């Protein structure tokens, strides 16, 4: 049986939240770990114990090649492809559940109430958008194949008309109108903006506008208008503007982030090359060799890929600059571009 794809951690957590235990309990305190699936690809395992009946629960998903980045004031469950986890009926039900948590009208909210309302309405809008992905170019009617869960099949049987293309677009528009009632996220942020913040915001806006014009895109948040390669181009440009690691988006000011970025090298090798292949073994050995030499020189303890490196105290780690130099050297040794992390040559 093929392990389903979780296009983002947000989608994985939502799927777990709407999949109750056999006893009916929907809550599940959980932890996660990266795993290698039987076909050699990377996956993630979420596990926990049901707080009501004590039953152990485990969920396993395939990981996407690129994790979706959450944009400010947006909720994004996935990109390009439709969900393999959550069907069209469940998406519409999820949207209704989030929208019901927000007063209607949502005017007059301030502070945390306003921010929470915006997040919930953003989630509702995005959930309807996910349902719309199941529509095909051939018909305005939702295909029966878009409903596979118990809840989804019930909705298909009792409220199929609600899933017509025009009805879904109208539903999304109503949620978007309610979202606009709450104002813009930037309304509050601008009150506390420093001159440096304003300059960065303007530079970021210019960068995004130039990218959109270059590719003929009218809405940078509508992933139907751009390819994955184009979105990757924008992500990398935004990271460079922020002074982040272009390959991972991690902060360059922390050694812990560098250690995590090194782990990303090993994960990328696992994703790119088959399990048991000489190519995977050579590249892994080359990267780990760079790390071993760096650890010997700096006195840093070697960590395991499953370790939470962000719990390591600063005083037990070398300076961030040294750690990031190690990461760039390890990428190059593994045949990656030291900046972007793309595989560029054989090892």
Residues 177 and 198 in one domain: no
Between CA 271 and CA 284 the distance in angstroms is 12
Residues 237 and 275 in one domain: no
Task: State which H helix or E strand residue 280 sits in.
Answer: helix 278-298
Of 287, 285, 289, 291, nearest in space to 323 by CA: 291
Going from the C-alpha of 330 to that of each of 226, 340, 341, the distances in angstroms are: 32, 13, 10
314 assigned to some structural domain? yes
Between CA 195 and CA 208 the distance in angstroms is 20
- Residue 148 lies in domain: 88-189
Domain boundary among 173, 189, 205: 189
Residues with Cβ within 8 Å of residue 302, at least 6 apart in sequence? 291, 292, 295
137 assigned to some structural domain? yes
Residues 298 and 265 in one domain: yes
Residues 226 and 279 in one domain: no
So what's the pLDDT on residue 54? 95
116 assigned to some structural domain? yes
So what's the pLDDT on residue 258? 95
Between CA 36 and CA 65 the distance in angstroms is 14
So what's the pLDDT on residue 70? 67
Residues 274 and 319 in one domain: yes
Look at phi and psi of residue 24 and say left if phi exceeds 0, alpha if psi is from -120 to 50, else beta. left
Of 22, 76, 80, nearest in space to 53 by CA: 22
45 assigned to some structural domain? yes
Specify the residue for token string 């300059």: 199
Residues with Cβ within 8 Å of residue 242, at least 6 apart in sequence? 200
Residues 173 and 200 in one domain: no
181 assigned to some structural domain? yes
202 assigned to some structural domain? yes
Residues with Cβ within 8 Å of residue 58, at least 6 apart in sequence? 45, 46, 47
So what's the pLDDT on residue 189? 54
The answer to whether the beta carbons of residues 63 and 44 sit under 8 Å apart is yes
pTM higher than 0.75: no
Residues 233 and 272 in one domain: no
The answer to whether the beta carbons of residues 25 and 50 sit under 8 Å apart is yes
279 assigned to some structural domain? yes
Residues 296 and 214 in one domain: no
Residues 275 and 297 in one domain: yes
346 assigned to some structural domain? no
Q: How many structural domains is the chain composed of?
A: 4
Q: What is the pLDDT along the chain (347 residues), one digit of tens a residue?
A: 689 999 999 999 999 999 999 999 999 999 998 888 888 788 899 999 999 999 999 999 998 877 666 666 678 898 778 999 999 999 999 999 999 999 888 777 777 888 888 899 999 999 999 999 999 888 999 999 999 999 999 999 999 889 999 999 999 999 999 998 887 655 555 555 678 777 887 898 899 999 999 999 988 767 778 888 898 899 899 999 988 999 998 889 989 999 999 999 999 999 899 888 999 999 999 999 999 999 999 999 999 887 888 888 888 999 999 999 999 999 999 999 999 999 997 76
Residues 161 and 94 in one domain: yes
Look at phi and psi of residue 5 and say left if phi exceeds 0, alpha if psi is from -120 to 50, else beta. beta
So what's the pLDDT on residue 184? 62
Residues 182 and 92 in one domain: yes
Strand ranges in 246-329 using DSSP code E only, listed in sequence order: none
Residues 164 and 202 in one domain: no
């Amino acid at each position: 049986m093929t392990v389903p794809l979780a296009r983002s951690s947000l989608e994985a957590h939502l799927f777990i939240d709407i999949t109750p235990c056999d006893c009916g309990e929907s809550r599940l305190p959980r932890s996660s770990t990266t795993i290698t699936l039987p076909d050699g690809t990377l996956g993630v395992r979420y596990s926990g114990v049901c707080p009501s009946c004590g039953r152990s629960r485990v969920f396993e998903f395939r990981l996407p090649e690129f994790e979706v980045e959450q944009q400010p004031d947006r909720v994004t469950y996935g990109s390009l492809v439709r969900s393999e986890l959550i069907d069209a009926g469940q998406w519409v039900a999820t949207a209704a559940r989030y929208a019901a948590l927000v007063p209607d009208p949502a005017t007059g909210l301030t502070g945390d109430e306003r921010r929470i309302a915006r997040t919930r309405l953003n989630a509702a809008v995005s959930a309807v958008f996910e349902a719309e992905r199941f529509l095909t170019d051939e018909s305005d009617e939702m295909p029966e194949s878009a409903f596979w869960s118990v809840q989804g099949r019930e909705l298909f049987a009792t409220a199929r008309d609600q899933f017509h293309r025009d009805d879904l677009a109208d539903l999304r528009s109503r949620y978007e109108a309610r979202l606009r009632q709450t104002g813009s996220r930037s309304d509050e942020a601008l009150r506390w903006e420093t001159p440096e913040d304003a300059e960065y915001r303007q530079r970021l806006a210019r960068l995004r506008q130039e990218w959109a014009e270059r590719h003929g895109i009218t809405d940078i948040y509508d992933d139907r208008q751009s390819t994955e390669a184009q979105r990757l181009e924008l992500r990398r440009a935004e990271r460079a503007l922020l002074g982040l690691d272009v390959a991972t988006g991690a902060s360059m000011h922390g050694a812990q982030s560098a250690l995590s970025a090194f782990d990303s090298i090993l994960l990328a090798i696992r994703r790119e090359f088959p399990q048991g292949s000489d190519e995977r073994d050579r590249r892994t050995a080359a990267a780990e060799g760079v790390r071993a030499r760096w650890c010997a020189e700096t006195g840093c303890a070697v960590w395991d890929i499953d370790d939470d490196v962000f719990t390591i105290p600063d005083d037990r780690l070398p300076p961030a600059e040294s750690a990031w130099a190690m990461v760039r050297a390890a990428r190059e040794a593994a045949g990656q571009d030291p900046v972007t992390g793309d595989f560029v040559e054989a090892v």
